[in-house]
Chain A
């Protein structure tokens, strides 16, 4: 392309000499979005001194041109400069189109369909690339935890599930590169299948306001985006290497991007992480190793008015589950809880034994968009995901190396979105979605299926209207409707089927009666409506007020409907309920924000009232041959979550900044008038950052994290008879751990290797004081302390 342009220039410069040149070129420059005339656009004819600007009427005129081909550069402060080749023959009229609002544009162009306005009336918290790179060796959940209002539900230290304003799993929707993740997120011990190194920006929307993604995000939406690729000829990349003392492992990640002026671009990215057993301050956490491999390829073509992209990623993660957490019944649980050290502590090893998880996630997507003048932008996307989850348990005999659970979830989704600018002030986003999902539970495991085989069809449609009333006030309203149909084949234990009176209530779904099991074919329909209404008011120099009211409806997931049996990794029996209906949440959120360089803050109180909230709680003790187990039953109730998130940042001296955040959430079961189980305790973090861009961009940060004790929890303790001591003993499964304080240190410095390459060297120390602590939201808190001190040495090369 460039050589072509140069040739044109070369020829034009030669030929100008010999011709009689008194032609003119005139015309207008307009915005491609809405056809509006652009004022103050500079047009320059390459290789000559000739330059003109468009006037107030948006027109321009060049004079004294020859009958020839010219290369004209058109530039505007708020547009991307663009070159045009124009053939002048006599007095010529030519109109040019530029893309206005470059900021917004870059996003649309690179990221395809649904990325522009996520939600204009809910506060978006995001984590940028620099911050994400500091978590290169960790997980998505580790990085997200640093946002106010976001906590995590952990299973050990490697399975980290994000929790937004006290809600998690199916209530949090994760969108990866425009694709809603379908990775069996219903499971509390299923971590998101995304490599943090493939993400350049993470945004959290606390609430269901972002209707284009889903209507069932009762907790919120997490959006992971890849970085923008510039439309120019370029080849660049980066490599990150992290070595850690705790886990004695390392993480390697590389990314290479090639882009062309003509709009083509390609990015290849890969990550390898290997850790052995992690350590608490006083002992090795045996069998907590991690082996993660992932790769992604993105190829795309971007023009101002159209573009398309193909993306494929594979993510494979093997995670060891703390050996000491694998227990028989309640009698074992008492031994484990009462013991100060985990029941199993072995020497450090890289080997990952059972119990362990081995998860593979494939994601492939193709998408394209086309921008139509005076109409809007049309985007289309198809994606395919395959999630295969193997869980290995401690087993006997021939089954030793066989997975105890082998679930494969395939998802196909097609999306069609239209973004139209109805007037200067009104934007309408609308779209439809069709999804087909198939879950296959491999019967060769020799263990009854945790989740039954099913096929699911979803159809959704939405619209969101923004109205920019004036410079200060923006109004937003939207609605969404989703229909789901589930066709399930489920084997029930005959004893369970009868004990629940299902034989009376659902006799029509029985397909076949076997000796001690019943095959059923439940066919379930769910109609879910959701809506959002909000306003965004800007006042003073840097104040903003956001108001948002949203309704979200979530259909029960397959675990809530069909669980029935011993959940070994949790040492409890879990029971779902076939008769559940959708839960409906009403959330009102208010945000008061001040943004400037010296002092910024936002205060975000909210109230989320959920009817038919599905909660999983202990109800009774069941006697089995393995011992006594606590039975956790899913139940629907009316719940209410209230809370406030506060962020503040204050530049108290040159190059110095204090960043603070505070989150509080209280959850209540309004039907029982009792606290909800598993709510995050109050927490606050404060960080002093020194950063000097004039001195090798040195950055030093000291962070203090304080987690309070959770005082509001339901008492679900129970008693069990211990034969050795001939006593009844209390199994304390509900008491919450004490408050704790952690110090983290982070430092980095940039070294310029040459004009194009930069090396960043970093040292991070987490849990500097090597504090022993346990976290209420870690499912393995009964059995072992959390991680001890960790030195992380980082190297990053940008090239």
Chain B
């Protein structure tokens, strides 16, 4: 008899659990991606004055199906530009400046600039990280002879520092942005 009581009690408890566990259907909160980089803007300011050139890739839906929107510009022969890179997360309002985070963790990041062989562009003078190695959110770019090709900006997270370039930098790519550029 005692066990029947137990069984009955167990049955009721379980029904109670099932019945009562549906709690309030509160709407969930939206999650805004905190780390996604939607926008990379490279600003090239010619030394000695003139119009600045903006290269930008912007992908407002992150890993969503929309392709990045790319804005490019053309360089002038023989001009030296001082370049700077700004990274933004525009999924949040106001937009979050990710460059600040990258600069705070400068030892763990590095920008690389890769012109294709046909493009007569050279880069140098990357700004240093806190240990004196290259960070590269600021740099100098010299446009050579008339030519055209692709200029790629790569941001590596946790690269081996110092390194001689992408081939021995290792790490993980946070950004790979390609721009079709002409030197005129």
Does A pair with B? yes
Chain A residues in the interface with B (C-beta under 8 A): 306, 308, 326-329, 331-332, 343-344, 366-368, 370, 378, 380, 382, 384, 394-397, 399, 410, 412, 414, 416, 434, 436, 438, 441, 443, 445-449, 452-453, 455, 487, 489, 491, 493-496, 499, 511-512, 514-517, 519, 565-566, 573, 622-629, 721, 723-724, 726
Q: How far is the CB of A368 from chain B (nearest CB, A)?
A: 5
For residue A327, which residues in chain B have a CB less than 8 angstroms away from its CB?
Answer: 172-173
The A interface, classified by DSSP as helix, strand, loop or mixed, is: strand
Given A495-B65, A499-B66; 11 other pairs, CB 8 A cutoff: A366-B10, A380-B10, A396-B101, A416-B11, A446-B31, A447-B34, A489-B28, A494-B61, A495-B66, A566-B62, A622-B63
- Inter-chain CA distance A624–B125, complex, in Å, is 28
Q: How far is the CB of B71 from chain A (nearest CB, A)?
A: 14
CB–CB A396/B105 < 8 A = yes
CB–CB B3/A306 < 8 A = yes
For residue B31, which residues in chain A have a CB less than 8 angstroms away from its CB?
Answer: 443, 445-449, 491
Q: Would you give the 0/1 interface string for B1-28, flagging 1 where the beta carbon is closer than 8 Å to chain A?
A: 0011011001101110110011001011
Q: How far is the CB of B66 from chain A (nearest CB, A)?
A: 5
Q: List 9 A-B contacts (CB under 8 A).
A: A308-B7, A329-B176, A380-B11, A412-B18, A436-B21, A496-B65, A517-B30, A625-B175, A629-B63
CB–CB A491/B61 < 8 A = no
For residue A328, which residues in chain B have a CB less than 8 angstroms away from its CB?
Answer: 157, 172-174, 176
For residue A414, which residues in chain B have a CB less than 8 angstroms away from its CB?
Answer: 11, 14-15, 17-18
Is B60 interfacial (CB-CB < 8 Å)? yes
Q: How far is the CB of B3 from chain A (nearest CB, A)?
A: 4
Chain B residues in the interface with A (C-beta under 8 A): 3-4, 6-7, 10-11, 13-15, 17-18, 21-22, 25, 27-35, 37-38, 40, 57, 59-68, 91, 93, 98, 101-102, 104-105, 114, 116-117, 150, 152, 154, 157-158, 165-167, 170, 172-178
- Inter-chain CA distance A344–B172, complex, in Å, is 10
Candidate in A443, A495, A516 with the most chain B CB atoms within 10 angstroms: A516
For residue A326, which residues in chain B have a CB less than 8 angstroms away from its CB?
Answer: 172
Q: How far is the CB of A726 from chain B (nearest CB, A)?
A: 5
Q: How far is the CB of A690 from chain B (nearest CB, A)?
A: 50
For residue B64, which residues in chain A have a CB less than 8 angstroms away from its CB?
Answer: 493, 495-496, 565
- Inter-chain CA distance A573–B65, complex, in Å, is 10
CB–CB B34/A624 < 8 A = no
Known contacts A394-B172, A493-B64, A495-B65; A723 and B154 CB within 8 A of each other: yes
CB–CB B7/A625 < 8 A = no
CB–CB B104/A443 < 8 A = no
Candidate in A326, A495, A565 with the most chain B CB atoms within 10 angstroms: A495
- Which residue of chain A lies nearest to B19 when distances are taken between CB atoms in the complex? A436
- Which residue of chain A lies nearest to B109 when distances are taken between CB atoms in the complex? A396
For residue A394, which residues in chain B have a CB less than 8 angstroms away from its CB?
Answer: 157-158, 172
CB–CB A443/B30 < 8 A = yes
- Inter-chain CA distance A396–B35, complex, in Å, is 7
- Inter-chain CA distance A571–B170, complex, in Å, is 17
For residue A434, which residues in chain B have a CB less than 8 angstroms away from its CB?
Answer: 18
Complex A-B, nearest 8 residue pairs according to Cβ-Cβ distance, in ascending order: A328-B173, A446-B34, A382-B14, A723-B152, A414-B14, A495-B61, A566-B63, A627-B176
For residue B17, which residues in chain A have a CB less than 8 angstroms away from its CB?
Answer: 382, 384, 412, 414
For residue A448, which residues in chain B have a CB less than 8 angstroms away from its CB?
Answer: 31, 33
For residue A397, which residues in chain B have a CB less than 8 angstroms away from its CB?
Answer: 35, 101, 104-105
Q: How far is the CB of B123 from chain A (nearest CB, A)?
A: 13
CB-contact partner of B173 in A329, A453, A493, under 8 A: A329
- Inter-chain CA distance A438–B22, complex, in Å, is 9
For residue A366, which residues in chain B have a CB less than 8 angstroms away from its CB?
Answer: 10
CB–CB A370/B3 < 8 A = yes
- Inter-chain CA distance A349–B181, complex, in Å, is 46
CB–CB A343/B170 < 8 A = yes
- Inter-chain CA distance A735–B121, complex, in Å, is 39
Known contacts A308-B3, A343-B170, A443-B29; A625 and B21 CB within 8 A of each other: no
CB–CB A625/B68 < 8 A = yes
Q: How far is the CB of B136 from chain A (nearest CB, A)?
A: 15
CB–CB A436/B18 < 8 A = yes
- Inter-chain CA distance A592–B14, complex, in Å, is 43
CB–CB B28/A625 < 8 A = no
CB–CB A625/B59 < 8 A = yes
Q: How far is the CB of B122 from chain A (nearest CB, A)?
A: 16
CB-contact partner of A438 in B21, B65, B67, B158, under 8 A: B21
